[in-house]
Every structure is written in structure tokens, then in C-alpha cells.
Amino acid sequence: MRLDYLSIFPAYFDVLDISLVGKAAINGLVEIHAHDLRDWTHDRHRTVDDTPCGGGAGMVMKPDPWGEAFDEIIGTESDPSVHVIFPAPSGTPFTQSAAAELSSAQRIVFCCGRYEGIDHRVIDYARSMWTVHEVSLGDYVLNGGEVAALAITEAVVRLVPGFMGNPESLAEESFSAGQDGLLEYPLFTRPVSWRGLDVPEVLMSGHHGRIASWRRDESVRLTRERRPDLTDSDSSGIH
């Protein structure tokens, strides 16, 4: 999997060299390429923004640098196997199933906007050429798409076959199919008693059936408490 990042702050992605994603890069599972969008400007000030047509506050990212960057980084041929991701508060909520789908992609290009956003024709052009995802991480606003791109990267790359040492652990995580799309149950380890707080006795019983039942009940309880929106989804197994 090749991952490209287009941003006016490409140094955000240096962290990928030290994180687990960096390990995957060393193992050849993923290739990381960060690019400075200003490298595709031609004026002395390396301008990437301009005032919004129709008025309004703030600045909008000009289409020209993006188009030239696309030409050089992705090419000028249409290819639906290339996934282009625009993180944005107005995007479709990103989910574990979306991460799972993207984990089989061979190319993902992250377009990290700043200012008030990117000229919409950039997204329209990308849609005419590649598979585009406008993605939101939640109902809050960051200063740009870089942090969202890092979060999406981690969610996707950890699902790439061969990345996780023990892929079985993926099956028990929140939102995973193995969890029926429920939130993960509470976890405990030694010591059994800590500051007057004990590990639930059932987990020390060695009775696998009872343990499985307790864990399921806890997942259902947590999901109903914290994410009632998930309890009616087809994958949740609880209705």
C-alpha cells in the first residue's frame, strides 16, 4: 500500500516514521510519501489561497496547485483503484468498516485542506478521475485535515494483513465484526487486587462459558449506555 499526503504542513507526517506505521513501512507493507503543496506554486510567496468567491470570511485553497500536484503524484489517467481522501467536518462519518475496506487499497492519497477549505472543483475533478472519500472524524472542527489524515492512516494500516503481530486481537476490538459491532468489554490484568479494586471474580474463575457470557453482557451494557445508535444497527446483534 502506497500512502501519499498532500499538505502545506508535510512535517505533520514525520511522526509516521516513528510510529507503528513506520514499522510497516520498514517491513515493506506500506510506503509513506508526504508532499508540500507549495511545491506546485509558481509565485514568489508560494501562494495557495485566495478570497472566497461570493464573499465571506477567511480564505479558500486555490485549485491550481492541487491539480498540478495530482498530475505529478497520481497522474493524468483515471483509475478507480486510487482512493483520494479529503478529511472535512462536512464529510461522511468515518467508521471501522470504512477502515477495513480501505485496508485492501493499493493507493491512498490524503488531501489535507487548511483555511476555510479547498475550492470544490478540486474534489469534483478528483471524483472524475479516482475514488473519492470526503470523510469526517466526528462533530468537531480541527485547524486542518492533517490530524484526521493521521488518525485515518492508523485505523487503516493496522488492518493491513501482516501489520498486526497477532491479528486475532483485532477480532475482539470495539466495532469489529467479532464483537458484533459492539463496544469492547472492560479489560483487566494483574494484580488481582489494586488499591482496593478487584478484578471481577468471573474472570478468575477459569470458566470460559461464564467469562464469555460476562463479556457479552458488558459489551451490550456499555453499547446501550454510550452508543444507543449502534444498538439498532444490523451488525450489532442487539435490538
Nearest approach in angstroms of CB 64 to ligand JAE is: 18
Look up residue 109 and give its three cell numbers.
492519497
209 is in an annotated binding site: no
Instruction: Indicate the pairing of strand 82-93 with strand 131-136.
Output: parallel
Query: What residues from 118 to 147 belong to the interface with ligand JAE (CB under 6 A)?
Result: 141-142, 144-145
141 is in an annotated binding site: yes
Q: Is 10 in the site for ligand JAE (CB under 6 A)?
A: no
Instruction: Indicate the pairing of strand 107-111 with strand 82-93.
Output: parallel
Q: Is 88 in the site for ligand JAE (CB under 6 A)?
A: yes
- CB nearer ligand JAE, residue 38 or residue 221: 38
- CB nearer ligand JAE, residue 63 or residue 237: 63
Nearest approach in angstroms of CB 138 to ligand JAE is: 8
Total residues interacting with ligand JAE, rule: CB under 6 A: 10
Alpha carbon 50 to chain centroid distance?
A: 29
Per-residue burial over 31-57, b = 16 or more CB atoms within 10 Å of its CB, e = otherwise: ebebbbbbebbeeeeeebbeeeeeeee
d(CA 140, CA 107): 28
Nearest to 116 by CA among 90, 79, 150: 90
Residue from 3, 148, 203, 230 in contact with ligand JAE (CB under 6 A)? 148
- CB nearer ligand JAE, residue 148 or residue 182: 148
137 is in an annotated binding site: yes
| Torsion sign over Cα 110, 37, 65, 146 | positive
d(CA 9, CA 20): 21
The secondary structure of 30-79 as a DSSP string is -EEEEEEGGGG--STT---EEPPTT--SS-EE-HHHHHHHHHHHT-SS--
- CB nearer ligand JAE, residue 22 or residue 91: 91
Q: Is 113 in the site for ligand JAE (CB under 6 A)?
A: yes
Nearest approach in angstroms of CB 141 to ligand JAE is: 5
Nearest approach in angstroms of CB 139 to ligand JAE is: 10
Binding residues: 113, 137-142
Interface with ligand JAE by CB under 6 A: which residues?
Answer: 87-89, 113, 117, 141-142, 144-145, 148
